[in-house]
Every structure is written in C-alpha cells, then in structure tokens.
Structure 1
Amino acid sequence: MLKSGFLNKTSKVTLGRGDLHVTCVATPSRPPTSRLAKRSKVEIIKEKSDFLRHPLMEELVNENTFISEEAVQLMKFHGSYMQDHREKRAFGAGKAYMFMMRTRQPAGAVTNQLYLAMDELADRFGNGTLRLTTRQAYQLHGVLKQDLKTVFSTVIKNMGSTLGACGDVNRNVMAACAPWKNNPLYVDAQKLANDLADLLAPQSGAYYDVWLDGEKFVSVYKEDPKVTVDRTFNGFGTNFENCPEPIYGTQFLPRKFKIAVTVPGDNSVDLFTNDIGVIVIPDEVTGQVKGYNIVAGGGLGRTHRAEETFPRLADALGYVDKEDIFHAIKAVVATQRDYGRRDDRRQARLKYLVHEWGIDKFRSVTEQYLGKKFGEFKALPKWEFLDYLGWGDQGDGKLFYGIYVQNGRIKGEAKKALRAVIEKYEIPVTITANQNLILREIEPVWKADILAALQAGGIKDVSEWDSLERTSMACPALPMCGLAVTEAERGLPDINARIRTLLTKLGLASETFTVRMTGCPNGCARPYMAELGFVGDGPNSYQIYLAGNPNQTRLAECFAERVKVKDLETFLEPIFVHFRDNRKPKEPFGDYVARVGFAAIKEFQAGYVVAAPAEGSKREVEFDLPCGNGKGTVVLALDPDTLKAVEATAKAEGMSLDQFLTPIIRKTIFG
C-alpha cells in the first residue's frame, strides 16, 4: 500500500484492454502543486480512523447529546451532520444538538418500501417532515443522538443507504430521471448513475460495523459484475493494492466529489456544476448507447471575502466508449485524489486543480491513469431545463406524475396524502434535482383516485403554481444549518410572492425566470446558476447574482452585496423596468442582463426614482392581526396599482387579501 497517496514509480505494462503499452504516473520530485506537503487536521483524523471507525464508534455510545469534532468529521462519511437547532436552545442549557441524516439515492430512485420507511422515521425520530435535496436524495432533520443507530439500521434494512452521502468521497450520483422506459438513453443514464455509485462506494465495511454492529446484512441487491471487475483493475495505478479501500486509501479524497449523468439536451441535473458530468452518446444508426462525453472541473461552493474561492463550470474532457466508462471515472477520481490540495480544504475541490492546471494538462495526467487517450468530444444539441412535472407516459403503458414540492419540504397534510397514495398503490418514486417528487408505475385506471386523494391533502397540480415557484429552489438554512447566516427555505416563498407582485405592477405579470436562494455562500441550491440568485451574507441580507440563463449553462455574477430584504422592491424595480423597456422579443431575463451588461443596468438603477402615488390616490386597507394574547390593528396605505397587483396575487393563490397579507405583516413586525 502506498502511504503517500501518490504513485511511487514508473513502469511499463502490457494489458488486455487493447494491449496498450502505457506509462503509469510517477511521483514527482516535489508535490504536484509545488507547495509544501502540509495536511489539514481533517487529513490526520481520516488517517487515524481505521477507515472511518474511531473515535466515532466510541462517541456514539457515551452519555453526551453530541459527538466530538473528530467524530463529526467521520460521521459525514456515514451520511450525517451534527447540527444545533438555534431556535430550541434553552437559556443556560447550551446548544440543542440534533443530527441530519442524508441518504444515497442514485438517479433519485426510491423503492416503495424505502419511501414508507423514511416517512415513518420522519414522524418517529425526526421533525415530522421529509426534505428532498437538490442532489436527488432525502434529508431527515432533527434526529437525536440516542436514536441514530435505530434510524440508520432501519434505512439499511429497508434497502436504503446513507454511505457516502456526505464526506470526502463521491456523493450521491445524479441522473436525468424521466421514467421513460422506451428511451434507451434515459434507461442507461439511470443505470449508470447507480453503477457509478457502486463503483465509488467505500469498501472497508466500517459502515456496517458502526450501524449494524458488524452484522452481515443480506441484501437482494447485487452490483453489476462489470463494476466489481473494473473496480479491481489496477493496470494504470488507480488503486491501492491490498488495501480495504482500493480507490480511496487511508486518506480518501481531498474533499467531496460530485457526479451527474444525463442525455444530450437534458440539463435537469445542472450538469456543469459537478466535478464530473457524463453525457450518454447514442449510436447514430441504432440509437443505442455507444459511449459517453465527459466534462470535468465544475463546482459552486465559495467563501465570502475569499477571492481565491469561486464557482466554476466544468470543461469538456473528452469521449470514451461504453466499455471504458468505469475506467475513465476512476482515472479522474485518482487524479484528484493524488494531486488535489490536502493542506487547504477551501482549495481542495477538483475545480481548483483544473483551474490551476488547465483542462489540457488535466486531460494529459488523467489519460495516464486511463491508459489511453480520450476521444474527441461529440457534438451535442442545445441544452434545455426539464422538470418532468405533471402527468406523463412512461412508454410501457403506465403513467408517471411529477409533483412540485415547495423547496423540497414534504410536511403536514400533504405528507399524509402522499403516504396514503404511495402505500395504497405500492408506488415507487423518484426525487428530482429540483427538489420535486415523481410518482412512478401508475396504472391509468388509478389516475382519478390518485388526483382526488392528493388534492384532498392540499397538493396542487403544477399548473396551479406560479411559474416563479415552479423553477425556484432554496436550501434549508436557518435554524438547523450551522453555516447559514440568514433564511432561505423559510424566506423564499414570501420573496417569490413579492417579486410576482412587483412584476405585475410593472406590466410583467406573465414573466418568469429562475430564482434560487441560499443562506450562505456554499451554494447548495445552486444560486450561481440562477437568473436571479440570492446568497445570504448577513441577517436578512443577500448578495444578488444575475445573468445565469434558463438552461443553466452560464454562471451568474454578483451584481450587488448586502441587499436587505426590506429594500427588495426598491432594489429590483429599476432592474425590471430596464428589462421591460429594452428587451428583445421573448428574451429571457438572464440572457437580457448578460447581453446589456451590469454597467448599463447599474447606471439606470442609480438614476431611477420610484414614483410616489399621486395625492389622494392611496387606499387604506385595515385588518386585525393577532398580537400576543390580544389583537392589534394594522392599516396599510396602498396606491391603486399596488393594491390591484396584491389582490391579483392573493386571488391566484386562492386566498383573501387578509389571508395573503397577514403572514407577511406578521413576519415584518415580529420577525
């Protein structure tokens, strides 16, 4: 086993894969980045952990409500983060420690058995809700330390897993998840996502030692034999010989690693934001899968006021035949493993290695691990964003139904209705990359009953949602996420409503664009790809990112910092007016901003004056607002245009004016 993490010699070999004579990567005389070979403290924790076992196993059985920092770092690899519920802290009692558990769901696929198990776990051991993530997995919030083993073992015994959902390993593999059974490209993309998850899953067995006390859990699932063979293959130095972790070694990867798979033209997975993006390429004659285009070096996380951190889109790496895809993925992972930064975790993602080297050098090194050159990147059609919402035909006589889930949170009566339908008809589901849910394998005769049951639970068809909501996303943020500095999930619905009201006021009532919000700069809801992105930079304050495009192939850029929520309309109105008055026919908002540039918009914004209502044109709206143990009266003075816009929005939401305004005023007054 190589202790350094780098290959330590050069050798020529002859192998069966085309009988190629190749040269393995050699350890350079100095570290690849020409920096001192320092390591962060997390690297030391990983090295001493006996492949992620200790001190986590000891910490889980002590009397504390929390675990140590060393155990926290290891816990991530097992699929969980320790969190502090800021709003449940009791005076003098310290932090309210809880755990978030995340599952591994390649391509977002969830069996009926696992869905029902997760739904029950949320009620028994979580906070009563299920969270659908932007990487097509579950998050279960609010689990207490004492319940962790029960929760994890239940997931495992119901054919689920959390292994590799977090930590310095390959994370959940995303895929274009349309359940079109008659489309071989989609079928292959979803299978490949599952195979890549298996290929790069930790192998040491520590996961089962920690959560099942070493019990040999027997599963009916078996990985593809080719995955097993290709994982073992080590002709070009991708593996550590005689090591429990043949690909990862004792140090695992420098940081998290993300992969997405899709088909030409379908960018439902935000392909270019991943460390590796894989595009299924069909044979021009048969239409069957021929091979894969690969892009590499994407990632969105950054740190405020640290210019050396930045979002980046992946570059085209090349093409490989279908037979070589596992070897190609291993080659990219090995390159990042051996050359990625381990001294500074903020610089440890693959995107910084590709940025520093350039894609040509990166390709050259990766080809040495692959044992052959990449083929020429195949031409692709224009990308589109697809969300698979509403009813669709699977192509095998059955239907699917895509349900919009606001910010991915399944709760309340909607949660009960979904469970009832999924349990009654034994329906499997799919989690999408936009935090939504697809019910699959629906017999046409079930359709009316399913619709009636869901509607009774308050679940609206996608046609009933505002188009701004349909494409928007937010991360959980406050109160649980330790990195959040402001709201996201709880704040975005109100902000979307205010944006719609403003657009209506300006004569843009039917306009729509992609809105995304995060409570910190890590970018979990991918705001740096949005046409209008909100990135938390302080209490009730956001950086505003503009100029992403509707198909998520262009990075947005920071337009302004420290924009307060209370000033949102004043800030956005001149931008929307400039867009309204100068756009080309049907030009999307993000494309417009990119075309005209920030300078022109900022100049207009600086000279723009929001017109005051004419004297006597205001109308007062008076209603009662619950206040403490009594009632208070609020009087709003609204000009006719604003009032008309608010009334229209309330009507569209199926609410009275009082119902619509009350939560907004409550939040404004009471926070």
Structure 2
Amino acid sequence: MRGQAAFIPLGATSTAFNGRGVHTRPSSCLPLPSLPVPAFPYVPSVITAVAAKPRADSSPPKKLSKVEGLKVSSNQLRFPLAEQLQNDEIFITENAVQIMKFHGSYQQDDRDKRASGQQKKYQFMLRLKMPAGEFPAALYQALDDISTKYGNNTLRATTRCAWQIHGVLKSDLKPVFSAIMNAGGSCIGACGDLSRNVMCTPAPLTSELYKNARFVSAMLGELFAPQTGAFSEIWLDGEKAASLEFWKKDLDMNSVQEIMRFDNGNGVVYNGKEEPIYGETYLPRKFKIGVTVPGDNSIDIYTQDIGIVCIPDAAGKVVGYNIIVGGGMGRTHRKATTFARTGDHLGYVPADKLWEACKAIVAAQRDHGNRSVRANARMKYLVDKLGIDSFRTLVETYFGEPFESFREIQPWRYMDWLGWHEQGDGNLFLGLFIENGRIKDEADFKLRTALRRIIDAYEFDMVVSPNQNIILKNITPNQKNGIEAILKEHNVRTADEYLINKRLSMACPAMPLCGLAITEAERVMPDMVARMDTLFKKNGLDVPVTIRMTGCPNGCARPYMAELGLVGSGQKSYQLWLGGCPHQTRLAWPYLDRVKDVDLEGTLTPVLTMYQQKSTTGEAFGDFCHRMGKSDIATFAEHFNSAPIQVNGAPPTLTYEAPVKARTARKKSTAKPRPRLTVSDEIMERLKNIAALRDMSASRVADEIISAYLSGVEDEDLLGDEMVI
C-alpha cells in the first residue's frame, strides 16, 4: 500500500528540464518556500521609431488554403461580412463566417433546439479581448445586461482569461457589438488568424514583478492588435466608441504605435500598409501569447505560441525576459501530422528588446508558417519542423541580433489563486471557483445574482483567470464579511468548500453550441468529477488529480497537459490521456483511443490499483503514469482481475492475475445493419490490394482513407478552427 499524498496548493516539483522545457524526472506534491515577490520601480523602455527601408510583401505560397484567399479578398476584414449583415437572413455564409472570427464572433447552431433535418438554429457567440483578463465593474454590468437582453442569460469565462456571450441573434449583433465597445470593452482580435487575448497570471498582487507582467500583457495585446478600420465602420458606423478600451488607459498609445511601426530593416513590418505587422493575409493561424513570473504556472506557459517570463535581478528589478515558443494543443483524431506540443526555450532578451523580439517571432511565423494546410498552420509545426536551434536562427534574421541563453529560474508550480489573499497594499482579493467558467443561476444556486449584487454594491474590478475562474480585487478588509454574506445567501461556496479535484477540473463548452463538438464536456463534467472522486476513494486513494475534458480534439481546455485527460472521440466516448504533470509542464500521452463514458470506471480501475500498489510516497498520479509508461500500465491492465480476493483473512484487495481464456458461444447480433457505401469495381480492387499489404480489412482501410480525407477538407475548407480559446 502507498502513502497518501497530501494536497498542497502551491506544492513544488523536483524539476529538471530537457531542451523542450519539460519534466524529465518525477515530481511530488511537497511544499516549497513561498514565491518571492520582489519590488522594483521599472517599466521597459520605449524604442524610438527611425526611418528604414521599405519592405515588399512576401511572395505568397504556390498553393493557398481557401481561408487565405478569403483574407486577401476581404479588403482588410470588411467583405463579404459587411454586406451580409444587411440582409434578412438569420445566418451568414461560410465565407463571411471566416471574416467574422476576426471581429470576435463565431456563428453557432443550437443542436438542442432542432430536430434532425430541421433548419439550423443559428445564433452567435461573442468573445471579448481582455489582456491579462482584467476588466472594470462597469463592463461586467454591461455584459450581464447584454446577456439578459440579447443572450442566453449566462456568461462564460474562457480558458484564455476572457468572457464569452452566447445566444445572440444575427439581427442583434450590431447593438451588442456597439454596446460592448461603448462600455470600454472590445471583441476585436479575440478570434481569427492573429494574436488573440494575451494571458497573464491572474494574481492582482501589487509587487512590481506582477505589475510588470500585467503591463507587458497589455502592451503585447495592443502591439499585435489589428489596425484595420473595418471594426468601427461595421459596428459603429465609422464613429469612435464612447469609451476607450479600459486597458489602453494605462498605456502611452503614441509609443505603442511607434513600436508597432518601427522598421529595423530586417523585413519585420510592412511600411505604408493599413496592417504594418500583419499585411493583407494576417497570420497563417491563431496565435497565443502568455506572460507570467518565475514559478507561477497559472497560465500553462508551455502551451503558448510565445510564453514570456519576467526575470528580476537580485534587487527585484526586471532586467529581461525568458521566451518560450512553439506550444499548442490543437490536433485531429487519426491524423498523425497534427499533435499537441509543449514549447521550447528560445532564449532571453534584455528588457528593452522584448517588443522587437516578439515582433520578430510573429514575423517569422507570418512569413514561414504553413498557409497551404490549415491543420499544420500553427507556429508549433514550424518550430517542430525546423527544430528550436534553426527556428532561433530564423527569428534572429528578423530580430537582428542573437538571443542570450535562457535564464535559470525556480521550478514551476500550478497556482489557481482561489480563496482570500492579501494584495500587498493593505487590500485583499478573492478568487472564486466558477465551475467550467459558467456564470448562471440554477435552482437555489444563484451565482449570477450574487455576483451582480456584489458588483453593484462594491464596484470591484475583476480578473478572469486562465482556469475559468474569477477574481474580485481591491477589497478592503472591512468589506470581507459583507461579500461572504452575499455569497452564502445565494448558496455560492468559497473555494475551500469544494473538493480539490473539482477545483482542479476544467472543461470546454462543447455541446450543444460548438460546431466542432463530437460529444459532451461542460454539461457532464460535474458528474464526471464526482464519479472519478468516488472511484479514487473506492480504490483507497485520496489524492488531488487534474482532470480536464473537451468535446473534440482541438484542446480548448488543454486536456493534453492534464494528469487525466478526456478528449471527445465519438458520441458519449472519449480518448483517454494519462501522464501529464500536476504543475502543467509536461504533455500527457494517449492511453486509449476510445472509451465509452459508461466504461470509464472499469477502464481506470486497473490503473488506480497499479498506482496504489506501485507508486512512491507522495507521488502524484500523473507523475506515476509518466514514470511507468503506457506499455507497463497496459500490461498490468491486461492481466487485471477486478474481483476482490481475500488472502489469509486479510481485507479484500484488488489485484491482478493472468486471465483464463475460454471459448464462449457467440450471441446472435441484434444490432441494426451498418450503412453501406457503394464504390466502383476499380476502387474496390485498389482497397483490397492496400488491405492485403497492411493486413487489414478493406472496410477499415476505406474508413481510414475517408476519415483522413474529410479531416483534410475540414481543415482546408473552413471547419477546423477552435470555437473556444
């Protein structure tokens, strides 16, 4: 029997890194000294723009995906969206859908509200851009009102520190967009082939280190914001918004424009273009940036296209930044050319070189990313193809100088920042657990009402965390009791009242609105966490386990980093991933391609028995699976017998033994005949030849070929984008 691992929220790992910045030896949930939070009066310097030679647009690739052509013909994201918003249809065409994404919205279909064969129940999801997840009380009030008047009476916190509003009809898009913009918010650049919302550690600590991380997030959010006038033209009739976006109030916007348009002569910017960094075709695919401080891995830093770590000197002054590149979660089932990937250590830059370094990385992806096959268009594939050393050399041709060596930092720890904390200025902040990010009222659980009462009464500014939770900040100590009273009145529990595995869980929205969802995620996750908790306890285990679930393989809830990941692979079926690190620095691996929902307990019982019997004291579940590996776990499971066995009067325990194989009579199938597909004699003969060579049935060969073809069509012809960040 193994010792029980006590959960310590800020527990440390014993960490060694290989070239890709991932764990190479097991970690444990043992305590570390508290994270130092030095103070320093520092803001990175601004680069002054100078004249530089103009740069011609890069030659387009020989073969462009359909979306690339749409971007070119859109006149900087204007057409055909502008015209289609004027007609009486309840939907927009697929071509307009692709342009609409850049405006921060997806067209969706509520599959719960229509029967098969009926017209789709079209509606739209709007996603906000919120660098570092921060937003003022007034914007939350506006979003809550919009959700009541135009949406589905809920708000959804995303896994990239932003809000989503669901259920908006096409006829209401313009008033909703304009209401958000006039309240100081924005959806511009929240989706589409550009840099999306910049994540940041959500802790509103007032130390200069954390303040610098938030400043960098806001700067990068604005540095890579699209510059086209299409947004104000379409949603505000060309007028300016009544209120400046809230994050811009702390930025020198003239300096931002100078930095954006500064041309170092190495082909980073397009002079004289409406989009100086993006040009006419923007980026090959979505681009994600995250910023944090040493040790605080609340943002899953190795999943970012660019991960930035603020590096202070001994006196606490930020003197530079470590940069990680090439992370990303999205993949496609049965398509080996797509995969989840953790980022590599690119290097270190002094503080005053950060903006140009990031511009150089974006330019390298812009010019060298795959614009022919969207399934392979993310920067992770470029980094993986070239290798980190060659990719670094490529970026240096744009940057104009070499990167310094990656600075050694303290081990990473997953930090959810839930519960009560001191900010450092005499005030408090409160991290509230929001199950799967959904702000709603349900039965006697009145989360939405409670939050609105708190915001109306106290006008707290807030933060959406990378884990779909929210933080109320700038709370004076004498306001604490009043807040807790409102929460209790509405049956909203504080973080310490939740089981730890629920706190660690995360799921994407999936059904019924996400067009890519194969099966459920958000709606079944509460029951799934309860089932897994019961299963662990049944097997004598009381340990924290990070569980994440998505309804498709795009990975919006980052399941490939979880200790136990469930990825939709069929109706009520999931691909099972094991072996991620509890501190989110290592990829999990696929244990089984498809497990029926009802079979999960039976499938996991052998794994948990092996964990109970063979893990070391304090060893986390994910670290154990990583240490044992897929082969050993599969072998154990193959010979596992779940029947309780009593030995010498001892209490029954689960064990394993080689099963006795016996012939059983085959039952007559009562299943309905499977659909048939007719092919020509020539195609059938070719399928048989391939089947013979691969020792497979012809039907299986046909299934794999058709699946691969359909995946390619979806990727190239518009359907392969994530719906949720």
In the superposition, the TM-score normalised over structure 1's length comes to 0.86
Which residue is 1:82 aligned to?
107
Q: Deviation of residue 219 (structure 1)?
A: 3.8
Match of 1:474 among 501, 504, 507: 507
Partner Cα distance (1:26, 1:423) in 2: 53
Q: Deviation of residue 26 (structure 1)?
A: 10
In structure 2, what residue type is equivalent to 1:70? N
Match of 1:259 among 289, 304, 317: 289
In structure 1, what residue type is equivalent to 2:91? F
Match of 1:377 among 376, 400, 406: 406
For the structure 1 residues 116 and 354, does the alpha-carbon distance in structure 2 shift closer, same or farther, using more than 3 Å as the test? Answer: same
Which residue is 1:628 aligned to?
none
What is the count of residue pairs matched by the alignment?
A: 592
SS in 2 for 1:610: strand
Which residue is 2:489 aligned to?
456
Partner Cα distance (2:586, 2:428) in 1: 34
Confirm or deny: 8 A CA contact 2:49 2:261 kept in the other structure.
no
Confirm or deny: 8 A CA contact 1:25 1:369 kept in the other structure.
no
For the structure 1 residues 17 and 77, does the alpha-carbon distance in structure 2 shift closer, same or farther, using more than 3 Å as the test? Answer: closer
SS in 1 for 2:95: helix
SS in 2 for 1:45: helix
Confirm or deny: 8 A CA contact 1:23 1:368 kept in the other structure.
no
Which residue is 2:306 aligned to?
276
Partner Cα distance (1:569, 1:371) in 2: 55
Partner Cα distance (2:81, 2:55) in 1: 35
Which residue is 2:121 aligned to?
96
Match of 1:50 among 68, 75, 78: 75
Tell me whether 1:438 sits opposite 2:471 in the alignment.
yes
Q: Deviation of residue 216 (structure 1)?
A: 2.1
Which residue is 2:392 aligned to?
363
Partner Cα distance (2:47, 2:439) in 1: 48
For the structure 1 residues 464 and 138, does the alpha-carbon distance in structure 2 shift closer, same or farther, using more than 3 Å as the test? Answer: same
Gaps of 5+ in 1: 1-15, 615-671
Partner Cα distance (2:374, 2:566) in 1: 25
Which residue is 1:323 aligned to?
352
Partner Cα distance (1:502, 1:361) in 2: 47
Tell me whether 1:393 sits opposite 2:390 in the alignment.
no
Which residue is 2:459 aligned to?
426
Q: Deviation of residue 226 (structure 1)?
A: 3.1
Confirm or deny: 8 A CA contact 1:25 1:368 kept in the other structure.
no
Which residue is 2:534 aligned to?
501
Which residue is 2:217 aligned to?
193
Confirm or deny: 8 A CA contact 2:348 2:407 kept in the other structure.
yes
Confirm or deny: 8 A CA contact 1:483 1:520 kept in the other structure.
yes
In structure 2, what residue type is equivalent to 1:436? N
Which residue is 1:669 aligned to?
none
Per-residue CA distance 1:240-288 (angstroms, 9 max, x = gap): 111100100100000000000000011100001010000000022x201
Tell me whether 1:160 sits opposite 2:190 in the alignment.
no
SS in 2 for 1:611: strand
In the superposition, the TM-score normalised over structure 2's length comes to 0.79
Bigger RCO (CA 8 Å, 6+ sep): 2
Partner Cα distance (1:389, 1:278) in 2: 23
Partner Cα distance (2:557, 2:54) in 1: 39
Tell me whether 1:202 sits opposite 2:232 in the alignment.
no
Aligned residues with identical type, % of pairs? 49
SS in 1 for 2:354: helix
Q: Superposed, which structure 2 residues align to 1:123-142 within 5 Å? A: 123-142=148-167
Match of 2:614 among 578, 582, 598: 582
Q: Deviation of residue 597 (structure 1)?
A: 1.3
Q: Deviation of residue 535 (structure 1)?
A: 0.3
Partner Cα distance (2:116, 2:272) in 1: 53
Confirm or deny: 8 A CA contact 2:436 2:506 kept in the other structure.
yes
In structure 2, what residue type is equivalent to 1:118? L
SS in 2 for 1:559: strand
Q: Superposed, which structure 2 residues align to 1:546-585 within 5 Å? A: 546-585=578-617
Q: Deviation of residue 564 (structure 1)?
A: 0.5
Confirm or deny: 8 A CA contact 1:24 1:368 kept in the other structure.
no
Which residue is 1:173 aligned to?
198
Which residue is 1:6 aligned to?
none
In structure 2, what residue type is equivalent to 1:206? A
Tell me whether 1:296 sits opposite 2:325 in the alignment.
yes
Tell me whether 1:512 sits opposite 2:541 in the alignment.
no
Per-residue CA distance 1:32-86 (angstroms, 9 max, x = gap): xxxx621011111110111001110111121000001111000000000000000
Q: Deviation of residue 217 (structure 1)?
A: 2.5
SS in 2 for 1:480: coil
Partner Cα distance (2:570, 2:391) in 1: 37
Q: Deviation of residue 27 (structure 1)?
A: 9.7
Tell me whether 1:249 sits opposite 2:279 in the alignment.
yes
In structure 1, what residue type is equivalent to 2:212? D
Per-residue CA distance 1:339-384 (angstroms, 9 max, x = gap): 1010100010000001111111111111121121111111111000
Confirm or deny: 8 A CA contact 2:192 2:286 kept in the other structure.
yes
Per-residue CA distance 1:540-576 (angstroms, 9 max, x = gap): 0000000001110000000001100111111111110
Q: Considering only aligned residues, what root-mean-square deviation do their CA atoms show, in Å?
A: 2.2
For the structure 1 residues 218 and 117, does the alpha-carbon distance in structure 2 shift closer, same or farther, using more than 3 Å as the test? Answer: closer
Partner Cα distance (2:281, 2:535) in 1: 52
Tell me whether 1:110 sits opposite 2:135 in the alignment.
yes
In structure 2, what residue type is equivalent to 1:526? R
Confirm or deny: 8 A CA contact 1:391 1:402 kept in the other structure.
yes
SS in 2 for 1:294: strand
Gaps of 5+ in 2: 1-45, 647-725
Confirm or deny: 8 A CA contact 2:460 2:473 kept in the other structure.
yes
